[in-house]
Amino acid sequence: MSWATLGTLALPFHLQRTGVQARQDLARHSHELTTGQVASPARHLRGDIGALHSIENRLVRIDGFQNALKQTVTAFDLAQESLNKVARAGDDLAKKLVLTAQSVAGPAARTVAAQAARSALEETISALSLNVAGRSIFSGVHSDRVPLASAETLLAELGAAVDGQTTADAVMNALSDFFDDPEGGFATIIYRGGAPAVGGALDDGRPGPALPTADDPALRRQMMSMAMVVLLDNGALTLDPGQEGILQQRAMTGLLENGPALAALQARVGDVQAELDERQIRLSIERDRLEVARSDMISVDPYKAAMALEQSRVQLESIYAVTARIARLSLTEYLR
C-alpha cells in the first residue's frame, strides 16, 4: 500500500486539512484579484503596518472634513443666493422710488410706492428666513429659530415707534433708534436669532467660518429704508406733503447708499466661498495622494493574482479527485 504513506486512517484527515487550506487560498486569491489589494495587509507588510495605519486614519479624517465642508459650502451658497435676492429687491425698489420722485406726487403714487416697498420688505424677510434641514441660515447660534419676525409684526412695532412724530427728521431718528440701538425694538423684538455661529472644524482643527446673521447692519438699514416707505401709506404717520416727500427721498437715498455695504457683505461671503473651494481642492488632492500611497503598499499584481488563483483552483480539483478516488477503494478493488 505505497499510496498511503501517512497510514490508511490518517490520509483522509490529511486530505481534508489540505482541502480546507486550498479553499481558503482560493477565496483569498479570488478576493485579491477582485479588489486589487492583498487580503492580509499585515502579513503582506510583514507586520510593519504603522505607515498604513497612519494613511488610513488620515483618510478617515479627510472623509469627515469633506462631509463637514460640503455642508458648510451648501450653507454659504444658499446664504449668497439669499443676499442676492435682498440686493435685487432693494435695487428694484430704489428704481421705482426714483421714478416716483420724478412723477407728480400724490396719493396714488405714494400708494404704488408703498405697495412696492411692502413687497420688497416681505421678500427680504422671507429670503433671510431661509431654513435648510431644520437649520436657519441667518440665525447665528440660535439656528433652531426663525431669525426675523414677520413683516406685519415689524411694521406694527415701527408704527408704535413713530407714533406722534410730525417731521421727517423726527421719524428718521425714531427709526434709527429702533433699528440701531442694541436695546431697541429690532434687537429685542424683531431679531430672534443669536450671535454669529463659528462653524465646526473643517481640517486640521481650523474652525469653519461664521455665516452672516439677519442682524447685520447692512441688512438692518435695508429693511429700515423699505419699511419707511410703507409707513407713509399705512396710516402710521401724519405728515404734511412736504415732509412726506422728504421722508420718501431719504428712503430712496438710504437704499442707494446702503448698496455698497450690502455688496461688501456679499463680497465677504464670496471670499469665504472661494476659501472653501480651495480647501475642497486641497483635501481632494491630499486624498488622492494618500490613496495612491496606500495602493502602492497593499496592491497586488493582477497577473500574479490570476496565476495564483488558477494554481489554487487546480490544486483544489486535484485534492477532490484524489479524495473521490480513495473513497471508491475497497478490498475487492485492491485485490484485482
Specify the CATH number for the domain of residue 269.
1.20.1330
Which stretch of 5-9, 291-295, 316-320 has the lowest confidence by average pLDDT? Answer: 5-9
| φ and ψ at residue 201, rounded to 5 degrees | -60, 130
Residue 255: exposed, middle, or buried by beta-carbon count in 10 A (0-12, 13-18, 19+)?
buried
Q: Is 29:315 a contact under the CB 8 Å cutoff?
A: no
Q: What are phi and psi of 148, to 5 degrees?
A: -130, 150
Structural domain contains residue 331: no
Q: Is residue 324 part of a domain?
A: no
Domain residues for the domain of 111 are 76-290
pLDDT at 216 over 80: yes
The region of weakest confidence among 181-185, 201-205, 261-265 is 201-205
Cβ–Cβ < 8 Å for 89, 123: yes
Q: Is residue 85 part of a domain?
A: yes
Domains: count for the chain: 1
Residue 194 covered by a domain: yes
pLDDT band with cut points at 50, 70 and 90 for residue 29: low
What mean pLDDT do residues 279-292 have? 91
Residue 188 lies in a domain: yes
Within a domain: 145: yes
Average pLDDT over every residue of 257-268: 95
Task: Assess if residue 154 is contained within a domain.
Answer: yes
User: According to the model, what pLDDT value does residue 2 have?
Assistant: 44
- What is the 8-class DSSP label of residue 234? S
CA 64 – CA 316 distance, rounded (Å): 44
Residue 197 is given by DSSP the state P
What is the percentage of the chain residues whose pLDDT exceeds 70? 75
Give the H or E element holding residue 131.
strand 131-132
Task: Identify the CA nearest to 246 among candidates 235, 236, 237.
Answer: 237
The percent of residues in the chain predicted with pLDDT above 90, rounded, is: 43
Cα–Cα distance, 227 to 219 (Å, whole number): 12
336 CB-side CA count, 13 A? 6
Angle at 160 between CA 159 and CA 162, to 5 degrees: 65
pTM of the model: 0.76
Residue 278 phi/psi, 5° resolution?
A: -65, -40
The whole-chain average pLDDT of the chain stands at: 82
Give domain status of residue 212, yes or no.
Answer: yes
